[in-house]
A and B are shown apart, each in its own frame.
Chain A
């Protein structure tokens, strides 16, 4: 639905539609394929904004009905949280 190739798709990593299309030209057929070529979905929001847009672009090239084939890259933690929240200190407890 966008009309120019330099439209921003992944805001966190500043990846444009043109770069995503190029990744697909190079053979990317999954979200992971696009991620390792462009870094899209790897930003602060962890793809919560751009993943769906990328799947939309991919839908013109691959069948997107089966999510398990898209290597969509959702994993724990599903929210951006600080590493220090996971560090347990005998004396102080967490942090």
Chain B
């Protein structure tokens, strides 16, 4: 470490994603000196690529777009006086709790009394013939290109992997103007949350479950792909091959924790495939087997930003406590609050219990006037719809994974809940708009926006065109951050089937 005098900080946080930022905020709140190091030229980690609205509880700014959550965290960190060093690539952690990093081509070091590793995850690679052709890309790279640099990686995309990442990135690609030719999933069912899946189904994207990419073809770059059906043991069924005309394959087959730093710091690991593979063992304070070294976020098991934030908070509070900045009682009280939220978010969360639809009005209620229709029946840790309704007609309650229940007699049909649902799963339906027609209001985030008064093709939940509709009104409120509310008149017989319009279809 040369002749330079090594600087010190009570807490050193590695990674400025949601986990790292929250850890830094909590440690700083308690009065610790905190330095955050991140290799990127902007902080926020994964959040800055996320242009979709997030699930979660009101407390985590759910319903906000990912990058806005990042902006809020940054602001809070800044106000508290957290120091964030960008373009700082951490290359090692040494025995005496020194963190070595490179910044602007210069090797530097900082010593921390506590170190919080919040390095996030790294994408899994997928080997297949042709997998090294230009045009085969990871979903993270695609997101960086599309959402940050505004460059399309291709015009016709095949998404490989149907988890939340695959489905969300498909949606973002379509928003950016690309065609998603299909989603391939080796498992027998889609892995993503149903509401995310429904968004792209409405756009008519074919989903190939029990299928794999057999080969990417092309001479100098991707010119097509061959997919094939697989049996239960993932062996390709001969003769089931299908050629798809694509120019880009986007690989979204999961992430694994970036464990290099905890590994060289000497942490113990366990192998938990559902959380992404090798994971540093940590205790209820997020402290690893190496004293003074903590982990938080995706590096401690691939989950979600909402969970990464709480884990970060927990690590930050625990660090501050162990540095003597909190008395025992305060520390325990603060930790208890965070743990309660973590528990609620994880409740039954993995078991994917499917409920009957509790958000659908009765036939009688449809007759009486406009009413909200909430097509959300999975256990998702998400509740912005609850607070969106000022009439108390929507209840999620606790745990936050409950599917929303609609109290139809309280619903006035105001439609305020529509843009608040991050899953875009709330519609407003006025069955008896006229004698022959119904009115449906739905959220819309594609361009171009249809014209008021124009005739459009209406699609059902599977993206099939089933009728024509007339655009009555378009509401674009700044509050809704880009989500437009379209009111459309449709033939009455389809009130229960039409759920959107053909994107960039005729009439638009």
Residues of B within 8 A of A72 (CB): 263
Q: Measured between C-beta atoms, what is the minimum distance from A88 to chain B in Å?
A: 4
Q: Are A77 and B128 in contact (CB under 8 A)?
A: no
Interface-facing stretch out of B88-96, B143-151, B188-196: B88-96
Q: How far is the CA of A54 from the CA of B89 in the complex (A)?
A: 26
Q: How far is the CA of A94 from the CA of B100 in the complex (A)?
A: 14
| A3-B128, A52-B277 known, 16 other contacts, Cβ within 8 Å | A1-B126, A4-B129, A7-B131, A8-B127, A48-B260, A52-B125, A52-B256, A65-B271, A67-B271, A74-B260, A78-B260, A79-B91, A81-B91, A93-B106, A94-B105, A94-B106
Q: Are B264 and A78 in contact (CB under 8 A)?
A: yes
Interface size class of B (residues with CB under 8 A): 35 or more
Which residues 109-152 of B sit at the A interface, judged by CB distance below 8 A? 122, 124-129, 131-132
Chain B residue at minimum C-beta to C-beta distance from A85: B107
Chain A residue at minimum C-beta to C-beta distance from B270: A65
Q: List 12 A-B contacts (CB under 8 A).
A: A1-B127, A3-B129, A6-B129, A7-B128, A7-B131, A17-B127, A52-B256, A64-B271, A86-B107, A94-B105, A95-B105, A95-B106
Residues of A within 8 A of B (CB): 1-4, 6-9, 11, 17, 48-50, 52-53, 55, 64-68, 72, 74-79, 81-82, 84-86, 88, 93-95
Q: Measured between C-beta atoms, what is the minimum distance from B300 to chain A in Å?
A: 15
Residues of A within 8 A of B91 (CB): 76-79, 81
Q: Which of A8, A55, A82, A86 contacts B131 (CB 8 A)?
A: A8
Q: Measured between C-beta atoms, what is the minimum distance from A30 to chain B in Å?
A: 14
Residues of B within 8 A of A67 (CB): 263, 269, 271, 278
Residues of B within 8 A of A81 (CB): 89, 91, 102
Q: Measured between C-beta atoms, what is the minimum distance from B282 to chain A in Å?
A: 15
Q: Are B125 and A53 in contact (CB under 8 A)?
A: yes
Q: Are B131 and A75 in contact (CB under 8 A)?
A: no
Residues of B within 8 A of A (CB): 2-3, 39, 89-92, 94, 100, 102, 105-107, 122, 124-129, 131-132, 186, 212, 214, 234, 236, 256, 259-261, 263-264, 269-271, 277-278
Q: How far is the CA of A85 from the CA of B100 in the complex (A)?
A: 12
Q: Measured between C-beta atoms, what is the minimum distance from A75 to chain B in Å?
A: 6
Q: Are B122 and A48 in contact (CB under 8 A)?
A: yes
Residues of B within 8 A of A11 (CB): 132
Q: Which of B90, B124, B125, B277 contacts A79 (CB 8 A)?
A: B90
Q: How far is the CA of A58 from the CA of B103 in the complex (A)?
A: 37
Residues of B within 8 A of A7 (CB): 127-129, 131
Q: Are B122 and A94 in contact (CB under 8 A)?
A: no
Residues of B within 8 A of A88 (CB): 2-3
Q: How far is the CA of A88 from the CA of B236 in the complex (A)?
A: 56
